[in-house]
Amino acid sequence: MPFGNTAIVILGASGDLAQRKLIPALNLIHGRLDGEGSFVVIGSGRTAFTDTAFRRRFDISPEFSKRLFYHRGIPGLKDFIAEKGSFDRVVFFMALPPKVYGSTAGELAAVGFGSEATLIIEKPFGSDLESAMKLDRELSGHFNESQIFRIDHYLAKEAVQNILVFRFANALFYPVWNSRYIESIQINAFETEGIGERAGYFDQAGIVRDMVQNHLMQLLCLITMEAPVSLDAEEIRAQKISVLKAVEIHDCARWQYEGYREEKGVAPGSTTETYAMLKLSINNFRWAGMPVYIRTGKALDRRGTEIGARFKRLPKLLFNRDGTIPPNRAIFKIQPAEGIIIDLATKIPGAGIDIATTNMAFCYRDSFAQEIPEAYQRLLLDAIKGDRTLFVSAEETEMSWRKLEPFLDAGEVRTYRRGKPPAPEWEVDWIDFDMYKDICG
């Protein structure tokens, strides 16, 4: 689809997100935009900059620099854009505090932006169901849902997009991708760092709001959803929403790392969780009776986001009479070392029948020469051309909050040592993801 003539406006352009992610991403993709139509990029914020001073803040190409301008504030912005050319669409990226998303949408509408506008917003989309619904009402009071793009940058990761290809482009796996053959699905998202400079946000949110409600629930949808009838964005969303409707959360255990309350900006006596473990199920015909486990936390002994499908054990027959052959596993390494690993039982060479566990591995770094693009490159391109596939709808957001609502801030918050994850809460055959840390690494 051609992009047409597009003005891209970054609201909050003097901030960190524009500096680290947005302008560098646009600098890398501006050649694609040039070939599809006329475009400009306009930074907007409270700080006073000339165009030249604004451009000097970034390490960008001379060609892209010519397309980059600055306007202070929203009043007068519509006329400023008109002076740069005639544009079919104006794409607004709100690099702003989430609490002002609604009021900013109102300001844009008040100065005359309407059907030509696209609004891109970052998580968090509310802090609970009530606030999410309030935000959606505020946004939809000025712009319709088709104009609102909610970013979950996990969805733009190549390894995440490959989940659907693995599942629906390979006849080998589709027949066994259900609770008849899979014993459990386990999702991890671990970080070695603490909260760093994010206390102002994180101490009000916690890891369940920060990671589970958005990123990890989206991963769960992709790994368990039914095949859409097409790759149309609305068809994919419909299947994700079906999963969310069927989700039942049974338990959520929360912890906080030792020393968290001494971090700069954390409230004294804070009970905000930095580690959470959830047990849930998906009550539909494909997944009924199979548990799903989600674990996520900070200040741990390793960094990694991965999904594991643990298949059911073989009966005690033939090669497994003593029950020692471990079950097959499919591991999706989302980051930092992207790949997919399948565990298999194979015969050890020799006269006897001795069995060993080996694996087949697909590693991005070995299979493809090109560098994996940064998520914001893909997201910005898709938003500019109006492709909503990798963006989250209001219904998805509200449904996810609805499921998690009873567990937000509920129950005791225990402590764990920095660099040592809490002991598992339930008796589960946990996948040892450490076994795969050097594969694709």
pLDDT tens column, 396-414: 999 999 999 999 999 999 9
The mean pLDDT of 15-44, rounded to a whole number, is: 84
Contact present, 194 and 203 (Cβ < 8 Å)? no
Query: With 0-12 CB in 10 A as exposed, 13-18 as middle and 19+ as buried, what is 178?
Result: middle
Identify whether residues 347 and 232 lie together within a single domain: yes
Name 166's Cβ contacts closer than 8 Å, sequence gap at least 6.
173, 332, 340
Distance CA 214, CA 219 (A): 9
**Tell me, what DSSP letter sits at residue 76?**
T
Residue 415 half-sphere exposure toward CB, CA atoms < 13 A: 9
Identify whether residues 280 and 427 lie together within a single domain: yes
Confidence band for 34, pLDDT divided at 50, 70 and 90: low
Distance CA 407, CA 361 (A): 37
CATH number of the domain enclosing 306? 3.30.360.10
pLDDT at site 37? 62
- How many distinct structural domains can be found in the chain? 2
> Which residue has better confidence, 112 or 5?
112
For 87-112, what is each residue's pLDDT tens digit?
Answer: 989 999 999 999 999 999 999 999 99
Contact present, 38 and 3 (Cβ < 8 Å)? no
For 285-329, what is each residue's pLDDT tens digit?
Answer: 999 999 999 999 999 999 999 999 999 998 888 887 887 888 999
Identify whether residues 118 and 178 lie together within a single domain: no
Question: Does a structural domain hold residue 143?
Answer: no
Identify whether residues 200 and 339 lie together within a single domain: yes
Q: Give the strand pairing for 89-94 and 68-72.
A: unpaired
The mean pLDDT of 358-383, rounded to a whole number, is: 84
Among residues 122, 141, 175, the one where a domain terminates is 122
pLDDT at site 390? 87
For 124-135, what is each residue's pLDDT tens digit?
Answer: 899 999 999 999
pLDDT of residue 434 exceeding 80: yes
Distance CA 387, CA 58 (A): 28
Identify whether residues 314 and 414 lie together within a single domain: yes
pLDDT at site 31? 75
Lowest pLDDT segment from 207-216, 264-273, 298-307, 343-352: 343-352
Identify whether residues 207 and 95 lie together within a single domain: no
pTM (predicted TM-score): 0.92
**DSSP state string for 173-200:** TGGG-STTTEEEEEEEEE-SS--TT-HH
pLDDT at site 316? 83
Identify whether residues 163 and 41 lie together within a single domain: no
Identify whether residues 14 and 118 lie together within a single domain: yes
Name 96's Cβ contacts closer than 8 Å, sequence gap at least 6.
11, 12, 15, 104
Q: Among residues 143, 157, 149, 158, which one has the least CA distance to residue 391?
A: 149
Contact present, 96 and 104 (Cβ < 8 Å)? yes
Tokens at residue 71, please? Answer: 């306007």
Identify whether residues 337 and 277 lie together within a single domain: yes
Confidence band for 393, pLDDT divided at 50, 70 and 90: very high
Sign of CA dihedral 191, 194, 376, 370: negative
Question: Does a structural domain hold residue 387?
Answer: no
CATH number of the domain enclosing 89? 3.40.50.720
Question: Does a structural domain hold residue 131?
Answer: no
Identify whether residues 102 and 161 lie together within a single domain: no
pLDDT at site 1? 44
Among residues 122, 146, 178, the one where a domain terminates is 122
Confidence band for 54, pLDDT divided at 50, 70 and 90: very high
Tokens at residue 358, please? Answer: 């080996």
Identify whether residues 174 and 307 lie together within a single domain: yes
Could you tell me the strand order of the sheet in which 391-392 lies? Answer: 68-72, 39-45, 6-11, 89-94, 117-122, 148-151, 391-392
Residue-range definition of the domain harbouring residue 18 = 6-122
Confidence band for 203, pLDDT divided at 50, 70 and 90: very high
Element containing residue 242 per DSSP (H, E): helix 233-246
Residues tagged active-site: 215
The mean pLDDT of 20-30, rounded to a whole number, is: 90
Name 352's Cβ contacts closer than 8 Å, sequence gap at least 6.
none
Distance CA 340, CA 361 (A): 6
Question: Does a structural domain hold residue 133?
Answer: no
Identify whether residues 180 and 320 lie together within a single domain: yes
Among residues 78, 106, 122, the one where a domain terminates is 122
pLDDT at site 364? 84
The mean pLDDT of 245-269, rounded to a whole number, is: 96
Name 432's Cβ contacts closer than 8 Å, sequence gap at least 6.
none
Contact present, 140 and 112 (Cβ < 8 Å)? no
Cis peptide leading into 98, omega within 30 of 0?
A: no
Question: Does a structural domain hold residue 217?
Answer: yes
Q: Among residues 361, 432, 382, which one has the least CA distance to residue 161?
A: 382
pLDDT at site 4? 67
- Mean pLDDT of the chain, nearest integer: 92
Question: Does a structural domain hold residue 165?
Answer: yes
Question: Does a structural domain hold residue 137?
Answer: no
pLDDT of residue 422 exceeding 90: yes
pLDDT at site 36? 59
Question: Does a structural domain hold residue 377?
Answer: no
Q: Among residues 155, 153, 193, 186, which one has the least CA distance to residue 274?
A: 193
The mean pLDDT of 157-186, rounded to a whole number, is: 93
pLDDT of residue 18 exceeding 70: yes
Cα-flanking dihedrals φ and ψ of residue 232, to 5°?
-60, 140
Distance CA 177, CA 125 (A): 31
